[in-house]
Amino acid sequence: MQNPIILAIESSCDDTSAAVLRGDRLLSNVIASQKVHEQYGGVVPELASRAHQQNIVPVVDGALKNAGVERGDVDAVAFTRGPGLMGSLMVGVSFAKGYAQGLGVPLLEVNHLQAHVLSHFIRESDDAVVPEFPLVCLLVSGGHTQILLLRSHFDMEVLGQTIDDAAGEAMDKAAKIMDLGYPGGPVIDRLAQEGDPQAFHFATPHIAGNDYSFSGIKTSFLYFLRDRLVEEPDFVERHKADLCASVQECIVGFLVKKLEKAVKESGVKQVAIAGGVSANSLLRRRVEEMGRRRHWKVFVPPMRFCTDNAAMVGIAGYFKYLRGEYADISLPPYAKKEG
């Protein structure tokens, strides 16, 4: 069957999402976000898993209703198996298993990181343009930063990756140091629009090859503020926009520099970004500008596909369905990246 109806479920962190696809065409994508974590400055795993339990049934029902699909029409159920928060994953994995078993349809296990990359292959219209292979993709999320070479949907070679913190972690930690709230990345992006990216300078790590390191940027930012606050207790409040613009410039500049190097070495002209940090306005702009200069064909995901969502799980599941790669019902979730 070339156009199966796939029900997809995503519950790896703090967003409960369900989507319905017919083949590679997206019919619906419903997301329930969890506001409860804002007061804690980060995701509280126990609260996240409880919220998933409350949200998953109405989210799945909403996705089916919006798609105009009945339960009996579903040909397979795709689910995020990992990586992610174990308690959150358990809710989605258990629900997917029960749903698929009740309908007597196959299960399709999906790697969360691969799903982010494959979101570029979701079609929402007949004239949608999707990448060709080979493709170089910069995957940037809260917990992962990698440069990948794709030769096919599931043939992904790591060209470079972070050796410690990820880019999203560095953004969030910088925001937390400045007490900007959670999630910090979008707040920094918004405030940076009003600041001078050259107001302050933070050292960029010198890492061999195409690898990244963001722990040093985070630490240097912390020490920089500590020294300034001794003399000026209101330093952050007075320079908030410039601080955001400067730290964002440092992180994004580092990301793009390594991406450019990796693309040049690969000789590939199809280039994409994916993951939560691909929503950052400066990163999107810099990659598009570089694409024009270097004559790349650049793919920047719609904002709705940057953060965690079930549509990306569904498209990854669809490609697995075509390959006949069905999951055994005994498969457990996994919290960390395999391999």
Task: Give the pLDDT of residue 111.
Answer: 96
pLDDT of residue 14: 77
* pLDDT one-digit tens code per residue, 84-136: 899 999 999 999 999 999 999 999 999 999 999 999 999 998 889 999 999 99
Q: Which residue has the tokens 């570029």?
A: 120
Q: What is the pLDDT of residues 274-290, one digit of tens each?
A: 999 999 999 999 999 99
Could you give the CA distance from residue 79 to residue 89 in angstroms, rounded to a whole number?
9
Q: How many CB atoms lie within 10 A of CB 173?
A: 21
pLDDT for position 337:
59
Q: What percent of the chain has pLDDT over 90?
A: 77
**249-275: pLDDT as tens digits:** 999 999 999 999 999 999 999 999 999
Burial 191-215 (b: 16+ CB within 10 A, else e): bbeebebeebebebeebeebbbbbb
pLDDT for res 36: 53
Per-residue burial over 276-301, b = 16 or more CB atoms within 10 Å of its CB, e = otherwise? bbbbbebbbebbeebbeeeebebbbb
pLDDT at 204: 85
Segment of 29-43, 218-232, 259-273 carrying the highest mean pLDDT: 259-273
Q: What are the b/e assignments for 118-144, b being 16+ CB within 10 Å?
A: bbbbbbeeeeeeebeebbbbbbbbbbb
Residue 312 has pLDDT above 60, yes or no: yes
Looking at the predicted structure, is the pLDDT value of residue 187 above 90?
A: yes
Closest CA relative to residue 191, chosen from 281, 76, 56, 278: 281
Arithmetic mean of pLDDT, 13-40: 83
- Look up the pTM and report it: 0.92
Q: Name the band, by pLDDT with cuts 50, 70 and 90, for residue 35.
A: low
Q: Which of 200-204, 297-301, 331-335 has the lowest mean pLDDT?
A: 200-204
> How many CB atoms neighbour CB 70 within 10 A?
10
Is residue 153 very low, low, confident or very high in pLDDT (cuts 50, 70, 90)?
very high
Cβ neighbours of residue 137 under 8 Å, at least 6 residues apart? 117, 120, 147, 148, 150, 271, 272, 273, 274
Instruction: Supply the pLDDT for residue 224.
Output: 92
State residue 37's pLDDT score.
44
Extract the runs of DSSP E, i.e. beta strands, from 23-74: 25-33
Question: Partners of 82 in the beta sheet?
Answer: 111
Whether residue 339 has pLDDT greater than 70? no
Tell me the pLDDT tens digit for each residue of 110-123. Answer: 999 999 999 999 99
- Going by pLDDT thresholds of 50, 70 and 90, the confidence category of residue 166 is very high
E-strand stretches of the chain: 5-10, 15-22, 25-33, 76-82, 107-111, 135-140, 145-150, 156-161, 270-274, 297-299
At residue 39, the pLDDT reads 52
pLDDT exceeds 80 at position 313:
yes
Q: What's the pLDDT score for residue 328?
A: 95
What is the predicted pLDDT for the residue at 82? 92
User: In the predicted model, what is the mean pLDDT of the chain?
Assistant: 92
Instruction: Note the residue count of the chain.
Output: 339
Both tokens of 256, joined, read 């793009």
Query: Which candidate, 10, 7, 5, 3, places its Cα nearest to that of 276?
Result: 10
| pLDDT of residue 45 exceeding 70 | no
* Residue 298: predicted pLDDT: 98
Structure tokens at 61: 């029902």
User: What pLDDT score was predicted for residue 43?
Assistant: 64
12 or 138: whose pLDDT is higher? 138
| Helices (runs of H) and strands (runs of E) counted in the chain | 9, 10
| Spatial CB neighbours of 25, under 8 Å, sequence gap ≥ 6 | 3, 123, 124
Phi, psi of 72 (to 5 degrees): -70, -10
Query: What pLDDT is recorded for position 205?
Result: 86
Selected residue with higher pLDDT from 157 and 126: 157
Contact residues for 6 (Cβ-Cβ < 8 A; gap 6+): 20, 21, 22, 74, 75, 76, 77, 78, 108, 314, 317, 318, 321
